[in-house]
Structure 1
Amino acid sequence: MTVQKQVGMGALACALVWQLVAGTTVYAAGPTLTLSSQETITSGAIMKNYVWTTTRSNKDVSVNANVVEVDLTNPNVKIDAMAGTKNQFTKNQSVLGMVKDTGAVAGVNGDFFNTQAEGVPEGAQITNGQVMATPAKISGLYSFAITKNNQPIIDILDFQGNVTAKDGTSFELGGVNKTYYWDDNDVPLIADGLFLYTSAWAMTQRAVDGTHVPTEALIQNDIVKEIAVDTNVKMIAPADGYILRGSGLAREFIVNHLKVGDKITTKYDMVPHDASKTYDWKNFKMLIGGSTLLVDDAKPSYFTRNIGDFSGYSPRSRTAIGYSKDMKTAYIITSDRSAGSAGMTLPELQQFMIGAGVWKGMVLDGGGSTQMVSRSLGDFDPKLVNKTENGNQRSVVNGVGVYSTAPKGDLKGLILKGQNILFMNEPSTYQFKAYDDYYNPISVEGIVPQWSTSTTNGAFKDNVFTPAAPGKTQITAKSGKGSASMDVEVVGRDQITAMTFSAGAFSVTEGGDFKLPISVTTRSGVTRDLPAASATWELSGIKGSLKDGILHVDSASGSQAAQVIARYDGYSTMVTLPVGREKIWYDVDKFAVMTTGDKYPAEVVSSVNIAQDNGNKNIEIAYDFTKGTGTKAAYARFNGTSGAPIEGEPEFISARVFGDGSFNWVRAEVVDANGVTNLVSFTENMNWTGWRKITADVSDLKFPLKIKSVYVANPANGQDERAAKGKINIDDISFIYKGQLASLPKNTVKLTVNKKQVTLNDKPMTLEQAPTIVNDNTLIPLRFVTEALSGSVKWDEKERKVTVIRGDKLIDLWIDNADLLVNGQRVTAEVAPKIMNNVTMVPLRLVSEKLGFKVGWDPKNYGITLE
């Protein structure tokens, strides 16, 4: 999230006080805060992961948030500000890049910045005690600092400075390493301003706004070395000097009062906005700027800036920083708006920060800029730990880093990594990491741990464990003082409560490939996908093949359904998939409709043309969203404004799209039977390049449908985080129609308890074994009833198991065992199946209802009707 201007004052947030006890959930006036996990990063720094839940518009939402807690009293850790590439401004990069560049063990993005400018923070920055930027002359902007005594400060700092020429003339200094910006009255301060630039500014141009022509002076050791009138000095400022840049009145000062060879005096100061306070900023260890104050005295602060300027009342990803009441702990905070995490408004962020322990805190840049990076215990390489708002790691101007200052310690512990749920004969590699007395990583090169298990149901070869039998075991690795163990469960049939296909409901089409993942849930409540190679597979109803869990349909001619059965250790599950139909509607090489370009708003530049890719024609939509305001779009319209009718009732619309990695949206305008135009999203994050088939659901719309357009969109919210120029290609727009499973024949079976005479569709027949009552449960002859009602029965003599398939239902049951499997779900009957007179008898109510039979009961005559 970035801004170019900040003006005004926000509303007062409501007060809400929380207190967090580690490992518990805190309840306070609606929202709840749960500490889900924590891990030591290094001596003095801990990563805590939270889930924060609240209610919006009478709906429950949850947000994933991360907090790095830094012990400011620990001499083995420090906080510092980072910038760009190799701690230089104007060379923006991701937080991960900055963390790696500077050797940090954790970090987050920092200050707000103007995305259209050179890439410098809006506020002040001190890194390793060196001033890199000074505060902007904008009211209400807070900064976070650490003093030489490791005391945290959050306050507003004002800038004061001037340059005095040899002739005694002085001119006010606007700031150090600032780009162009506006004050609270929307006055561009660069217009008549004099600004100072150090070697931290890594460009030969400074504060370029396209309007104000610079005049610059190079100063070394307080001596004027060069004056460039109405142009810029063609170099980066030297380490022993600086460059003064002036426009308007400041230009006149440089031209009229500075001369090459003159000695000049430059002084500046950063003073508390509150005159009752004093800070020795020249001895600050670090400082980073931000925007509004959020928390003060563990209460929500009033907003010191207009938070509407950076979507403060909308749920977004957020970054913040604060400290505890005793000033011994710093809190570095992110919260996510991503899949499965709802983001936070700034009033919500205030509540979260208080719950996490913040006494005083302020906001840093958020939205698409929010990134948190950390090194896991035992790891050398830091990684992104949050899910970013747009799925990418945005290049930002600066950040806050956490650094280990500890000496090298001795081996303290090991950490094991690997699967804790295994299937029989599934080889699994276990890795280990090591850390020292200061929780910093140790190279495992040369460390050969001793591997062992607590049971004999498997064997190790090097660090690969292969289980041979089901059950629980504990794997242990030892080396010197360090050891680590982890519990492993080897799953067998008796440990499974459910084994189901988890791909959801869909139709298969001829020539298509369909992933069929199988999810296994154990009695201990753990769920894991079954490796495709661990299952045996059966396919019926269509011709095709199964490889690595992917069903390829060669032919579906004349079939209405595909049945796929998977078995593991005698445990079975089945999925029945209707055979659908995919019809290509738009293919430039074969058939299409009249297609024209359109745009919104009028300032957008766009075009629609026919392109070729290896001889295959497609439509190309080129767009330029650099002008105009609000949501912007470039359209390929069909049949002018009328749209094209679509036959039938499709489930999905599909298209092949050549993406440009712009993070823009791709959508279609689909008109329903009520004349309502529905905006159907193929993707809201075009983060790929090259061809990809993408699909959108239209099954909930009212039929018949018309398609008006496909288009590229850049919505207003987060617009600066997507590419403004680009082009995409679209081909093979098709519609997918749902298949229908065949209805079972409507046969009727009538039976009577203790009588062998039955009727099938009123035709009399005689059973070998009459229905009977056992322990108040009626047992019926399984094979006869199933086959009479269009099912099939298979007997496994070795396991004394019966497998029944009827329609889309599969049941496995074992003689004298009350547990049975229904499409992979374990169910327990009141009475186990039994064999009577060589006939398998099963509980009427349970089995008939699981197979989809409709049961009628005549209590007077003990009659049973099945249909």
Structure 2
Amino acid sequence: MNEAFMEKKTREMLREIRTASAKKWVAASLAGVLWIMPVIGSEGITQFGQGPSPVASAAASAFTVTKLGEEVITSGAIMMKYKYTTSRSGKQATGLADVIRVDLNNPYVSMDVMTGKGGDLTTRQSTGGMAKETGAVAAVNGDYFNTGGEGVPIGGQVSAGVVVSTPSQLNGMYAFAVTKDRQPVIDEFTFEGTITAADGAQFALSGINKGAYIPEGGTSTYSHANAMYIYTDAWTALERPKNSSTTPTEVLVENGIITQISPNAALPMAVPEGAYILRTHGLAAQFVAAHLAVGQPLTSSSSLRSQTTQQALDPASLQMMIGGHTILVNNGKAATFSRSTSSIGGYRARTALGYSQDGRYAYVVTAQKNDNSAGMSLTELQSFMTNIGVWKGLNLDGGGSTTMVDRPLAETTATLTFNTEYGTEQRSIVNGLGVYTSAPQGEVKGITISGNSVLLIGQKAAYSLKGYDTYYNPIDVAAGNPAWVSSSGSATVSAGEVTAVKPGAVTLTATSGTASASTKVTVLGGDDLSSMTVGTATAPLIAGSSVSVPVTATAKSGAKIAVPDSALKWEFVGFKGNVQAGKLTVDTVDTGVTTGYAIARYNGFSTVVVLSAVAATPWEDFENASYPVAFTTNVASVQGTAAIMAGSAERAGSKVLSLSYDMTAGSGKMYAYAQLNGTTGKTIPAAATSMSLDVMGDMSLNWLRAELVDSSGATVYVDLAKIIDWNGWKSLNLDLSGSGIKFPATLKRLYVVNVEEGQDERAKTGTVAFDNISFTMPSLSSEAGLPKGTASMVIGSKSILVNGTKQAIDVAPIVKNGSTYVPIRYVLDAFGGQAMWDQATKKIMVLRGAKALDLTVNKKEYLLNGKLQSAEVAPLILQGRTLVPLRLVSEQLGLIVKWEQKTKTVTIES
């Protein structure tokens, strides 16, 4: 389930739109339980499970909290970073939490609810999207909601004194509010309202802008049975609401006058701006028939009531209100949960709200669950909140919904504070809580320089200068023509563009008026690197073929840097080619060559792409597949099948993998997966540069993808087709060379995605099929064809015996300091490969099969396929010839070396 709801329009817009009518709607806040179950009835009404309310158990005494630091977001709001440590079943767990502390005494900062898209109910949007749309400087996800419903919060929602949605009749659901005199409130509220007809007859209102649900603590099984609800223009969906029990009678009220009555049928319209529609059922519909008529006036009144004090609360007195779930903290201590938490247990990402004992500070709390953090239980969340000074607090929607964004100092937009449970993907939700600033522009307080801290020789990089004022608002400092200075000749700078010239450290300083900022930049040379790798280590040696060859350098410090084209020099062995914009293209292949090499050099450092003559390798045609195939989805209401079956039409007599799906009952972003071999998948054994497959399309305009898991455990998603815009069979060819997949890998799932945005344009039902999946795997053939055999040499003898045939050599092998040295050329003549000598740098590059060995005379360090390694001995020059350590070179090239002490004979085998 998700949480969420109202986006922030400016206060002026809200007042203009929501107060255009004479009525004042009041909202109560409530929170829905996390799990949903259907009930028996003619229409499927959602029930929010209640269950017992266990007492919150004390968190482990080992729970500790450490503050890592804090950063200013805006005047009156700071981001505080924490690390927590706890004991779980005898094992230590650690995690990270992020807290935005809002100073309610600061007149320039405020909190408000963000709602879906455009501030409308029945729409959904990510937290980051709502923050961007409303101009929030920070935000988190909000209330719980029924993922299968229209997209409205379970709890109450108020913005600028206007009720957007009232609390549901559910027990123990708390809400967070801030009054217009900036006092925080956390309480459980109920809604009370009345409609008064022209003849004086009255009928109780059950709520405003609510989806259908199963209420608790009352006499009705259905929220809308015998009930009357108001729907304002904040409700944008045409259906009011889904699955609301009996056939409704609806009444349109404009400017306080009844303009339409639709007996036993919904009005075929959205709510007009400034108007509202009464939706009535059963006894409420009978009241309409008996007492209301077109042209008559109709008045309404409503209020919220505190369950704690039984006092009425006027929504007009509120700056904002957002619904939540159970209370977590009261009087600075862990509180008894106000409703069952069994459906929201476990160690998950968490979101919560609270305030300090003096009411000055509001706390927006999140706990991370990702690669860097172990998540929290609810009891751990209670301990954390009390640790940081929360006096009273409640739980908001968590898990996959937990998302926080904030605007870093001097930046203009809010960005993701930490990775969600899904990485950088943000779940679309119905509302969230935004933090806003109304501070005026002040004087320049500080500036920051943004740009790379590490550069490579020849690299050009742009550095931006950003400033912030005395209220911590971003301010444009570029107009002041800031002055830039470089402290050394390792880099030059002009108007923020830096060019790396030679290895060394440099300090860049920018000055704008009285403010200045500095940043340190290191220019790396070849001696500073530990490795240089190409994104595609193998490629097809076929004229006209092209693959992505992004090069990444790793410094000895551990920093990783993308090497720009301008910093590299490429050499090609066995073919003619070129590298442009990060793509290697083979122009022509030398006669008789089956293995080629593209060597990238940077300041004495090198790496290589090994190319080999290869064709696509058939991987799966489904004719003899013995593993299971299953249908899975991310939304329970999505149905479908996945199976290997006989093909039809042009595939008659062949087997194919068929995937059928029906997403009509689902909502949000929906997936239909064909899962291969349970959770295991099927192995792709070697590095693949491309993938081809035949796909039967269904013209659904959905998105077609494949999910792989590589050898590092990372999940990689491959786009097969952004849009399925064809019917019948079509061959797809995909370049995998830039995908970053670490092979061997496994193909886990093939699937269809129905994206939430623009969903009406895409079909929710269809069938696709797959056949003849192949991969181009050059690495399987790069070692093929290398000579096999035996060669032997005697120390001091100028001859070599290759497979029984004696041959003369111009320099004899020697033993020096216990190591045997040989002229490498003769070893390569015997076992395949070639060597290249660079007189200027005294380097020898040895190429054999999939190996590229870069050695330097008198240096023990060497490079093997771009990785820096160290040997016990170094190459040397003797009598004008270069000799290399035999065991080092032979073993790195995949050869076996044997030594016979009595005869001083070295034997090499392949």
Length-normalised TM-score, structure 2: 0.74
Q: Give the C-alpha shift of residue 725 in structure 1.
A: 0.3
**Which residue of the partner structure matches residue 247 of structure 1?**
281
Pick one of 382, 388, 396 that aligns with 1:364.
396
Question: Distance between the aligned counterparts of 1:419 and 1:157, measured in 2?
Answer: 52
Contact residue 584 and residue 732 of structure 1 kept, 8 A: no
Q: Is the 8 A contact 1:513 1:553 kept in 2?
A: yes
Letter matched to residue 160 of structure 2: N
Structure 2 residue matching 1:499: 3-state secondary structure? strand
Structure 2, unpaired ranges of 5+: 3-35, 37-45, 651-655, 677-681, 709-714, 726-731
The aligned residue for residue 111 of structure 2 is: 79
Are 2:179 and 1:141 aligned?
A: no
The whole-number CA distance in structure 2 between the counterparts of 1:203 and 1:75 is: 37
Aligned 8 A contact 2:700 2:762 in 1: no
> Against the structure 1 CA distance between its residues 372 and 748, is the aligned structure 2 distance closer, same or farther, given a 3 Å change threshold?
same
TM-superposed deviation, 1:656: 5.7
2:798 maps to 1:749: no
| Aligned-partner Cα distance in 1 for 2:334–2:574 | 64
Matching residue of 1:492: 525
1:292–1:305: 8 Å Cα contact kept in structure 2? yes
How far residue 804 of structure 1 moved from its aligned partner, in angstroms, is 2.6
Per the alignment, residue 494 of structure 2 pairs with 461
Q: Tell me the distance in 1 between the aligned counterparts of 2:93 and 2:791.
A: 50
TM-superposed deviation, 1:330: 3.4
- Whether 1:89 aligns to 2:132 is no
Corresponding residue of 1:529? 562
CA distance in 2: counterparts of 1:218 and 1:737, whole angstroms: 65
Give the aligned partner of residue 877 of structure 2: 835
Q: Is the Cα–Cα contact under 8 Å of residues 140 and 291 in structure 1 kept in the other structure?
A: yes
Match of 1:196 in 2: 230
Does the 8 A contact of 2:800 with 2:807 survive in 1? yes
Taking a change above 3 Å as real, the CA distance of residues 173 and 403 of structure 1, as seen in their structure-2 partners, is: same
Find the counterpart in structure 2 of residue 735 from structure 1.
Answer: 774
- Aligned CA distance change for structure 1 residues 605 and 734 (closer, same or farther; 3 Å): closer
Aligned letter for 1:469?
K
Give the equivalent residue in structure 1 for 2:864: 822
- Give the Cα separation in 1 of the matches to 2:539 and 2:347: 33
The one-letter code of the counterpart of 1:496 is L
- Structure 1 residue 79 displacement after superposition: 1.2
Q: Closer, same or farther in 2 for the Cα pair 1:626/1:428, shift >3 Å?
A: same
1:809 aligns with 2:851: yes
The residue that corresponds to 2:323 in the other structure is 289
What is the DSSP-based 3-state SS (H/G/I as helix, E as strand, rest coil) of the residue aligned with 1:256? helix
Whether 2:514 is the aligned partner of 1:514: answer no
C-alpha distance in 2 between matches for 1:628 and 1:89: 18
Distance in 2 of aligned mates of 1:458 and 1:628: 57
Aligned residues of 1:7 and 1:184 also touching (Cα < 8 A): no
Deviation at 1:701, TM superposition (A): 8.7
The answer (yes or no) to whether the contact 1:667–1:713 under 8 Å persists in 2 is no
RMSD: 5.2
What per-residue deviation string (whole Å, max 9, x for no partner) do you get for residues 442-474 of structure 1?
Answer: 134522110111102232333222222221111
Q: Distance in 2 between matches of 1:829 and 1:598?
A: 51
Q: 1:496 to 1:152 in 2, by over 3 A?
A: same
**What SS does the aligned partner of 1:255 have?**
helix
Contact 1:499 / 1:572 at 8 angstroms: preserved in 2?
yes
- Distance in 1, matches of 2:88 and 2:862, equals 43
Distance 1:507 1:16, change over 3 A: farther
Give per-residue Cα distances to partners, 1:50-85, cap 9 Å, x unaligned.
788999999999988754343334333111112244
1:403 maps to: 436
How far apart, in 1, do the equivalents of 2:746 and 2:479 lie? Answer: 63
Question: Are 1:109 and 2:147 matched, yes or no?
Answer: no
Given that 1:201 and 1:237 are in contact with CA atoms closer than 8 Å, whether structure 2 keeps it comes out as no
Match of 2:65 among 20, 23, 26: 20
Is the Cα contact below 8 Å between 1:660 and 1:687 reproduced in 2?
Answer: no
CA distance in 2, matches of 1:321, 1:478: 41
- Once the two structures are aligned, what percentage of the paired residues are identical? 34
1:69, 1:603 → 2: CA distance? Answer: 41
- Cross-structure match for 2:42: none
CA distance in 2, matches of 1:202, 1:397: 13
Q: Report how far residue 188 of structure 1 moved.
A: 1.5
Question: Which of residues 810, 816, 834 is equivalent to 1:792?
Answer: 834
**One-letter code aligned to 2:223:** L
Note if 1:182 corresponds to 2:206: no
What SS class does the counterpart of residue 500 from structure 1 fall into?
strand
User: Shift in Å at residue 410 of structure 1?
Assistant: 0.6
Question: CA 1:559 to 1:273, structure 2 compared with 1: closer, same or farther past 3 Å?
Answer: farther
Q: Secondary structure at the match of 1:108?
A: strand
* C-alpha distance in 2 between matches for 1:211 and 1:126: 27
1:452 counterpart residue number: 485
Question: In structure 1, which of residues 835, 846, 850 is the aligned counterpart of residue 892 of structure 2?
Answer: 850
Q: 1:791 to 1:426 in 2, by over 3 A?
A: same
Tell me the SS of whatever aligns to 2:289.
helix
Asked whether the 8 Å contact 1:508–1:514 carries over to 2, the reply is no
Distance 1:299 1:216 in 2: 48
Give, in angstroms, the shift of residue 401 of structure 1: 0.8
Query: Deviation per CA, 1:242-269, whole angstroms, max 9, x where unpaired?
Result: 5543211122233334567877764433
Does structure 1 retain, via aligned residues, the 8 Å contact 2:66–2:84?
no
Aligned twin of 2:449: 416
Q: Find the residue that maps to 1:253 and give its secondary structure.
A: helix
SS in 1 for 2:130: helix
Question: What one-letter code is carried by the residue in structure 2 that aligns with 1:625?
Answer: M
Paired with 2:579 and 2:827, the residues of 1 have a C-alpha distance of: 33
Task: Supply the distance in 1 between the matched residues of 2:414 and 2:119 (Cα, whole angstroms).
Answer: 18
Corresponding position: 1:581 with 2:619: no
Q: Is the 8 A contact 2:75 2:471 kept in 1?
A: yes
Q: Determine helix, strand or coil for the equivalent of 2:286.
A: helix
Q: Map residues 124-163 of structure 1 onto 2, 5 A cutoff.
A: 124-148=156-180, 150-163=182-195
Verify the 8 A CA contact 1:582 1:734 in the aligned structure 2: no
Once the two structures are TM-superposed, the CA of residue 403 in structure 1 deviates from its matched residue by 0.4
Relative to the length of structure 1, the TM-score reads: 0.77
Per-residue CA distance 1:259-289 (angstroms, 9 max, x = gap): 6787776443323333489977653321101
Partner amino acid, structure 2, of 1:176: I
Cα distance, 1:520 vs structure 2: 0.8
Shift of 1:184: 3.4
SS in 1 for 2:519: strand
Work out which of the residue numbers 203, 211, 219 in structure 2 matches 1:171.
203
The Cα shift of 1:402 comes to 0.5
> Which residues of structure 1 form unaligned runs of 5+?
24-34, 613-617, 639-645, 669-680
CA–CA separation in structure 2 for the residues paired with 1:822 and 1:585: 31
Shift of 1:203: 6.2
Letter paired with 1:330: A
CA distance in 2: counterparts of 1:503 and 1:424, whole angstroms: 23
SS in 2 for 1:189: coil
The answer for the alignment partner of 1:675 in structure 2 is: none
Residues 457 and 470, structure 1, Cα contact 8 Å, conserved in 2: yes
SS in 2 for 1:5: strand
Native 8 Å contact 1:46 1:68 kept in 2:
yes
Counterpart AA for 2:693 = A
CA contact (8 A) 2:702 2:752 kept: no
Corresponding residue of 1:8: 50
Equivalent-residue separation in structure 2 for 1:68 and 1:611 (angstroms): 61
Cross-structure match for 1:482 = 515
Q: 1:491 to 1:219 in 2, by over 3 A?
A: same
Letter of the structure 2 residue corresponding to residue 400 of structure 1: L
Write out per-residue CA displacement over residues 838-862 of structure 1, whole angstroms, 9 at most, x where no aligned residue. 2334445544443444343456776
| Match of residue 350 from structure 1 | 381
1:574 Cα offset (Å): 2.2
Matching of residue 624 in structure 1 with residue 662 in structure 2:
yes
Task: Tell me the residue number matched to 1:381.
Answer: 413
Residue pair 1:368, 1:390 contacting (<8 A) in 2 also: no
Report Cα offsets for 1:500-558 as digits up to 9, x if no partner. Answer: 22446787778653322222112332111212342222334566553333234567897
